[in-house]
Amino acid sequence: MKKCIGCGICLQTTISNKPGFTNKLENDYCLRCFRIKNYNDLIDQELDQETFIANIKNIVHNDKDPIFYYILDIFDLEGTRMLEIENLIANKTVVIVINKIDLIPKSVKLSKIRKYVTKMFASSKLANAKIILTASDNQKLILPFLNIVLKSFQNQYFIGASNVGKSSLINALMKANNLVPKILESRYFNTTLELIDINLDSGVKIIDTPGIARNNSIAHIMNQKDWQYCYFKKELRQYTFQLNSEQAMFFSGLAWFTFISETKIRQNFHIYVNKEILLHRTKQNNAANYFTKNKELLITPTVIDEGQEYHFKFEKSDIGKEFDISISGLGWINFIVQSEQEITFIIPLKNQKTLISLREPII
């Protein structure tokens, strides 16, 4: 059967809310990909998330000598790791690819990022995997990656969580090898739906795989029209605020954190988010009122209720140490602990699965 050249799914004309639907089988794109490509619009369709894991299991079982390029997003390392996938591919050849490196401030040395990633995987089943730092929009970073890919003649699979930039990387490799890019790219989750084979060179085949569906990103509680705010296209900027104890900082209406210190010290918080996310500082006792009065003007979850809290407590032994707190899909804050304190993140939607994690500083 003919496949959509955008997402790889078999085209069909019978069920409009199922993947692969098109008005005519002569079309190159399914209706979903056509709308994404030409109107930047996503049509809701039922996606079987279990098939994403099944694809990887089939590859591991049927391909005796594959190479897996395991793609992670530098802006959401914790959120884009997929432990189930890591366990499945642990006994195969794996290359960990950290994408979108060009958007990290140029003052940050790549060696520092490499050291961070190496430490992050040190106790995992991929501890001995090769690490590549790259970016689809940076020729200097793509060419070394291309040279590695061209030297391998096994099937080479690009795998990872949805929206980490697999398709963009493949298009960049094709372009760098003087081929015409053809894989559909978008800011939406789950754009690629089936395996897509690409002959990169004589005897060199790479395969784009569907993004592994995940629900730990804050994007999954947002309207689709707001997913652009979970996307970085320019070099990351740092926003610095000084907070007194009992003050709150809002990330538009998606999340906010409160800072409670044992002393009256003012503490710096460095914030890394999409530049279009409105940052607003207010008193802790005014936070609920601010959100209620302004929620119609703010980017907010699709549903709002009493909310969910994440607590991070720092003891006397933590004073002087530096930490990040990462909000999957949104960004992170960086700070040096100045006193015994508690930082509480609030998301105005209960029982969601957004990953908010404490980590060592990444930059």
CA torsion sign, 245 to 238 to 70 to 4?
Answer: positive
Q: Is 301 helix (H, G, I), strand (E, B) or coil?
A: strand
Res 43: pLDDT: 43
Are the C-beta atoms of 194 and 208 separated by less than 8 Å?
A: no
Are the C-beta atoms of 334 and 322 separated by less than 8 Å?
A: yes
Are the C-beta atoms of 267 and 359 separated by less than 8 Å?
A: no
Cα distances (Å, whole numbers) of residue 80 to 109, 163, 179, 214:
22, 9, 29, 8
* Dist. CA 153–CA 176, nearest whole Å: 18
* Dist. CA 157–CA 65, nearest whole Å: 11
* Dist. CA 217–CA 360, nearest whole Å: 20
* Residue-range domains of the chain with CATH: 1-46 (no CATH), 48-214 (3.40.50.300), 230-359 (no CATH)
Label residue 49 exposed, middle or buried (CB < 10 Å: 0-12, 13-18, 19+): middle
* 216 contacts: CB under 8 Å, gap ≥ 6: 79, 328, 353, 354, 355
Q: How would DSSP label each residue in 113-151?
A: HHHHHHHHTTTSTTTT-EEEE--TT-HHHHHHHHHHHHT
Pairing of strands 247-251, 341-347: unpaired
Res 166: pLDDT: 84
Q: What is the pLDDT along the chain (363 residues), one digit of tens a residue?
A: 788 877 777 888 888 877 778 988 888 888 877 876 675 554 444 445 677 778 788 889 999 899 999 999 999 999 999 898 899 999 999 999 999 998 888 888 999 999 999 999 999 999 999 999 999 889 899 999 999 999 999 999 998 887 788 878 988 998 899 887 655 444 444 444 467 778 888 889 888 887 776 788 898 888 878 888 887 777 888 999 999 999 999 999 999 999 999 888 899 999 999 888 999 999 999 999 999 999 898 999 888 988 899 999 999 999 999 999 999 999 999 999 999 999 999 999 998 889 999 999 998
* Dist. CA 195–CA 230, nearest whole Å: 26
Pairing of strands 331-336, 322-327: antiparallel
Which amino acid type is present at position 249? M
Number of other CB atoms surrounding residue 290 within 10 Å: 18
Pairing of strands 130-133, 93-99: parallel
pTM for the predicted model, two decimal places: 0.83
Which amino acid type is present at position 139? Q
